[in-house]
């Protein structure tokens, strides 16, 4: 009875990612042995949202990876905006219950977030290839949308939940051509766009007016607005997939490499602790022993 209920489950307005995560979601919830159909639906709903979030951030369809504590915390902090802290805690409790029931209280080692594709920055060559890919999309709507996502991700360090509510007037173009983005939501802040993406962002703001900055012609907004758009783009096997989490990781790592002073970086990224930067450390450029010695010796 319970197995049939789980097998028949399908989320309302299922996003394209559902096809990639469906089997793993259902198998994991079945392994958690929910005792009522109501409990099964609660667990299915929570794990589906986490799975779609993880898919968007480049994680494989692996529930152990989805349910890693760091991934769950990232999900509840960034994907569940607009709901109360109690509701976020409820989601966290359901996901922790699935992890414990399906995989046991003592798992054979955590899957570190630092090893995830979501934290792996794009290379310089990848960035150029993605920009060319955006320009080569078959329709003007797809070309504009892809360019806006790259400008906001690679140029401003924004993730999907921050892109979706932006309006054209949230971008201010200064006299020297600089673009300042007023980010909305829980991590509200001002972000200065990096120079290579200023023109594309200013053009998008002019086209949007007071409407949506990303996909100004759309009439509805939802958590899947970005992923539904990227699913409609034409892929190129020579170009990595456009994932906003990786764009943001690229933006952060590039500024850690400069380096930008830590308080400035935390404020611009909308972060409130150094812990949030730890998963990016494996991707920083190395420094030779001689260069490191010279730097340390010259410190005041």
Q: What is the pLDDT at residue 118?
A: 57
Confidence of residue 105 (pLDDT cuts 50, 70, 90): low
Average pLDDT over residues 206-235: 88
Q: What is the pLDDT at residue 138?
A: 94
Q: Which two tokens stand for residue 191?
A: 């972000």
Give the residue among 230, 232, 224 at the shortest CA–CA distance from 14. 224
Sheet of 179-183, strand order: 171-173, 179-183, 189-192
Rounded Cα–Cα distance for residues 292 and 289 (Å): 5
The three-class DSSP label of residue 246 is helix
Mean pLDDT in the chain?
87
169 half-sphere exposure, CB direction, 13 A CA radius: 3
Average pLDDT over residues 4-22: 90
Lowest mean pLDDT segment, chosen from 35-44, 103-112, 207-216: 103-112
Rounded Cα–Cα distance for residues 227 and 232 (Å): 9
| Whether residue 55 has pLDDT greater than 90 | no
Per residue in 229-282, pLDDT (tens digit) is 988 999 898 899 998 989 999 999 999 998 899 999 999 999 888 877 887 888
Average pLDDT over residues 202-226: 89
Average pLDDT over residues 167-192: 94
Domain ranges of the chain: 2-111, 122-241
Query: Of all residues in the chain, what percent carry a pLDDT higher than 70?
Result: 95
Q: What is the pLDDT at residue 112?
A: 39
Q: What is the pLDDT at residue 117?
A: 56
Per residue in 225-240, pLDDT (tens digit) is 888 898 899 989 889 9
Q: What is the pLDDT at residue 202?
A: 96
Architecture per CATH, 122-241: Orthogonal Bundle (1.10)
| Whether residue 115 has pLDDT greater than 60 | no
Query: Would you say 268 and 280 are in contact if contact means Cβ atoms under 8 Å apart?
Result: no
| Whether residue 295 has pLDDT greater than 80 | no
158 half-sphere exposure, CB direction, 13 A CA radius: 32
């Amino acid at each position: 009875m319970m197995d049939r209920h789980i097998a028949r489950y399908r989320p309302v307005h299922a996003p394209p990612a559902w096809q990639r995560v469906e089997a793993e979601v259902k198998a994991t919830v079945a392994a958690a042995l929910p005792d009522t159909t109501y409990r099964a639906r609660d667990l299915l709903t929570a794990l589906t949202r986490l799975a779609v979030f993880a898919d968007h951030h480049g994680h494989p369809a692996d529930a152990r990876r989805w349910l890693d504590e760091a991934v769950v915390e990232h999900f509840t902090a960034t994907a569940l905006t607009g709901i109360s802290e109690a509701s976020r805690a409820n989601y966290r409790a359901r996901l922790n219950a699935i992890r414990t029931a399906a995989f046991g209280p003592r798992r054979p080692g955590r899957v570190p977030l630092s090893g995830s594709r979501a934290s792996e920055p794009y290379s310089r060559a990848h960035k150029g290839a993605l920009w060319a890919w955006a320009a080569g999309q078959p329709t003007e709507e797809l070309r504009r949308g892809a360019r806006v996502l790259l400008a906001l991700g690679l140029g401003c360090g924004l993730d999907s939940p921050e892109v979706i509510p932006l309006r054209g007037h949230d971008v201010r173009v200064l006299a020297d051509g600089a673009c300042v983005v007023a980010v909305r939501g829980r991590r509200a802040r001002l972000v200065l766009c990096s120079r290579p993406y200023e023109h594309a962002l200013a053009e998008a703001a002019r086209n949007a007016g007071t409407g949506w900055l990303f996909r100004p012609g759309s009439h509805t907004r939802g958590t899947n607005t970005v992923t539904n758009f990227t699913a409609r783009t034409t892929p190129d096997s020579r170009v990595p997939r456009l994932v906003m989490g990786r764009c943001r990781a690229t933006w952060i790592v590039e500024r850690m490499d400069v380096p930008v002073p830590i308080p400035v970086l935390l404020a611009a990224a909308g972060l409130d602790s150094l812990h949030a930067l730890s998963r990016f450390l494996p991707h920083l450029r190395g420094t030779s022993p001689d260069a490191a010695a010279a730097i340390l010796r010259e410190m005041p």
